[in-house]
A and B are shown apart, each in its own frame.
Chain A
Amino acid sequence: MWRILHILAIGALLASAAYVYSAKYQTIYAEEQVVKTRHLIAKERDSINVLRAEYAHLTRPERLQQLADGALQMQALALNQIVKPESLPSPVAKVDSIGRTLE
């Protein structure tokens, strides 16, 4: 009777030791992964920032103006080309021209 209990106790001890061992190593591994991921995030953030700066540099008004002047055959905006939405003419009632020919 005592012998069985002893064996059980020793077994439980070994099992728990094994569990703690594996849990500890899993934790260490997870911690490493967290640190690695943090580094990756920081790296990504840095590269996002570089891209943002680059985007801002490439879309700076000075450059866009140069490109537009060189590549597009467009006139400068005249003030009379700007109107408020209210001053647009109201749309004309749609005419069903095909339907009319059928009548």
Chain B
Amino acid sequence: MAKPQPSLEKVAGDGRARFLAAVRRGVSELFVSRADKSGARIAQIAIIVGLAYLGIGGKLVNYGLSREPPQTLKGAADQAASGARPDLTDRNGRILATDVKTMSVFAEPKRIIDKDEAVELLTAVLPDVDAKELRERLTSKKGFVWVKRQVTPKEQQEIFHLGLPGVGFFPENKRVYPNGPVGAHVIGYVDTDNVGIAGMEKYLDENSLTDPHIVGFAPDPNAMKPVKLSIDLDITHALRDELLIGMDKYRAKAAGGAVLDVNTGEVIALESLPDYDPNEPGDMRDKEKINRLNVGVYEMGSTFKAISISMALESGKFNLGSRVDARESLRFGRHNIHDFHATHRVLTVPEVFTHSSNIGTARMALALGVEAHQTYLRKMGQLDRMKTELPESAEPLWPKHWTEVNTATIAFGQGINVAPLQAMMAVGALVNGGHMIVPTFLVRDQSTAMIGSHRVVSEQTSESMRYLLRSNATHGSASFANIDGYYVGGKTGTADKLFHGHYDNSQVFTTFMAITPANKPKYLYLVLYDQPQAAPGDGGYHTAAYNSGRVAGSLIRRVEPLLGEAPTYVFPQNPFPLIARLGYGADAEKVGKE
């Protein structure tokens, strides 16, 4: 900032000096701030800056109110494209579900010049795309729309040759299930956006094991480790195959089956028929295709007797030598409990089990009372919803008003509906030494399983149950499944189905549970059939032994070698040491005749 210099004006004589002085004055003037002019200037600047801010503010409000935030094509495609998921493998590492890259066709409506032509050409190449719907999408104001998800390489080539501006391709992940319907109820399925909808696929999403799919967050698809399920592909296939053969032979409405490792709680195989192909969208919507092991609840029939008898033994009021009166049927007002294979005599506890005596089991439960019965069933996990990794589950159905009649019928498996897998969990605990282990669909070793378990019955009660199951295979209804070489134990269950408030004995629900080997169980098998009919040559019998029992037999014969178990024809020495010391069942081959 220069000061005015009046002395210069006087000294300057010639024009050159005057000119210089004028320039100097002009320059110095530029840097002079004069109080009289500054007010107006400040006001001007304030107005300009204020307008600029108003403009910015207005634009911000505009952005905030607009529904579709403008974004880059890449961002839009990334957000719309389906995310990556980890592979699902069986317990031996074989693929059950994996992602493959496929191309999807998208369009940018703003860049398409002739929309009618584009629709015409695209629908000519992609005949399954609805022309009207596509026109609607292309005339929308969106910056990005899908034309068709997951096209074949041939379709991609043809669209590419159309040379339409504003139509492009984006790679997407498509979930494939190489084994089709095998194990479908455990694996589950995904929607077109690769989001898990059911089964273990949904479990992956619930536990954030999939690509988080957030814009600006690039996940490393290689960092996603495959998730190992507990199921075995070969055994699941064998189970499905055997169930299908039986379903055809006995003309059943539905079937189900599972193999459970009783020491770890791992589900080795689980199948429910009719089933669906997870590769086919929409195939799973049918209500008949639910997972009957986990979502369906059924009256388990006589297989429930195992739970009732274990309760009686555990209470200490009964032992294997106790006698129960089954001479006359039990009357409760209008209700009359009678035996299917009536013996009309006093039975020992093993006889109650092998003759599947309703009267005997009901009497044993009644001797303990309603409250003890409820407490025991709750302890065995039969009155509450069982929670596994599978998102689908079902609440058991049992009478809220529970009287002695209910205890009597529930003792032999009528009047309570549970999920079959839930009943398996209880039987598994009864035979594995008394440890309640919640089934899992992920691989787990025994020590981990033991940490999460708790004891529900004593070692001795557990051994008694194994003995009873074994004796039922040698002398009872489970003889069809008594496969030589595997020391099988088992129990049948036939429940009349309830139609319009009446039990109809022509329509039954049959179950069969088997353990191998009975002296130190490793595996628990379950086979169930809904409304099986008698096969020709079976004398009209449609009870569990003839269908579920037989299928369980052929299943054991087929699956045990796959589980790495070689048959042994030498019976175990002293298979039931604890109860042998008490004088029972030293030789399981002779039981039932005692």
Contact = CB atoms under 8 A, between A and B. Distances in A.
Interface of A: 45-46, 49-50, 52-54, 56-57, 60-62, 65, 77, 79-80, 82-84
8 contacts: A53-B98, A53-B176, A57-B176, A57-B178, A60-B237, A62-B241, A79-B485, A83-B566
A53 B237 contact: no
Contacts of B344: none
Contacts of B567: 79-80, 82
Contacts of B179: 56-57, 60-62
A65 B241 CA distance: 10
A79 B563 CA distance: 13
A49 B549 CA distance: 42
Most buried by B among A52, A53, A62, A65: A53
Contact of A49 (B101, B241, B557): B101
Given A53-B176, A79-B483, 19 more contacts: A46-B101, A49-B98, A49-B99, A49-B101, A50-B100, A50-B101, A53-B98, A53-B178, A54-B178, A56-B178, A57-B179, A60-B178, A60-B237, A61-B179, A61-B237, A61-B238, A62-B180, A79-B485, A82-B566
Contacts of A77: 561
Nearest to A50: B100
B100 A79 contact: no
B194 to A, nearest CB: 14
A64 to B, nearest CB: 9
Given A50-B100, A52-B98, A84-B566, A61 B233 contact: yes
Given A61-B237, A79-B567, A53 B95 contact: yes
Contacts of A54: 178
Interface in B369-428: none
B133 interface: no
Nearest to A79: B567
Interface string B342-382: 00000000000000000000000000000000000000000
B325 interface: no
B436 interface: no
Interface string B549-586: 00000000100110000111000000000000000000
A55 to B, nearest CB: 8
Interface residues of B, number: 26
Interface in B212-264: 222, 233-234, 237-238, 241
B233 A53 contact: no
Nearest to A51: B100
A86 B202 CA distance: 46
A56 B222 CA distance: 20
Contacts of B557: 79
Contacts of A46: 100-101
Contacts of A49: 98-101
Nearest to B569: A80
A56 B193 CA distance: 23
Interface of B: 94-95, 98-101, 176, 178-180, 182, 222, 233-234, 237-238, 241, 483-485, 557, 560-561, 566-568
Nearest to B485: A79
Given A46-B100, A50-B100, A56-B95, A79 B561 contact: yes
Contacts of B222: 45
B115 to A, nearest CB: 33
A54 B179 CA distance: 10
A54 B371 CA distance: 57
B564 to A, nearest CB: 11
Given A79-B484, A79-B557, A56 B98 contact: yes
Closest 6 CB pairs of A and B: A56-B178, A61-B237, A57-B178, A56-B95, A46-B101, A60-B179
Contacts of A65: 237, 241
Contacts of A61: 179, 182, 233-234, 237-238
B209 to A, nearest CB: 18
Contacts of A84: 566, 568
Nearest to A58: B178
Nearest to B240: A62
A21 B560 CA distance: 72
Contacts of B238: 61
Contacts of B237: 60-62, 65
A57 B279 CA distance: 12
Contacts of B99: 49
B558 to A, nearest CB: 8
B218 to A, nearest CB: 13
A62 B100 CA distance: 22
B437 to A, nearest CB: 28
B7 to A, nearest CB: 49
Nearest to B171: A46
A63 B560 CA distance: 21
A62 B485 contact: no
A65 to B, nearest CB: 7
A52 B95 contact: yes
A94 B98 CA distance: 53
Nearest to A86: B566
In the complex, which of the residues B179, B241, B484 has the most CB atoms of chain A within 10 Å of its own CB atom?
Answer: B179
Contact of B100 (A53, A60, A80): A53
A46 B234 CA distance: 27
A82 to B, nearest CB: 5
A77 B234 CA distance: 15
A56 B89 CA distance: 11
A75 to B, nearest CB: 14
Given A60-B179, A62-B179, A62-B237, A82 B561 contact: yes
Contacts of B568: 84
B561 to A, nearest CB: 6
Contacts of B180: 60, 62
Nearest to A57: B178
Contacts of A82: 561, 566-567
- Which of A52, A61, A83: most chain B CB closer than 10 A? A61
Interface centre among A50, A52, A79, A84 (most CB of B within 10 A): A79
A53 B557 CA distance: 31
B153 to A, nearest CB: 11
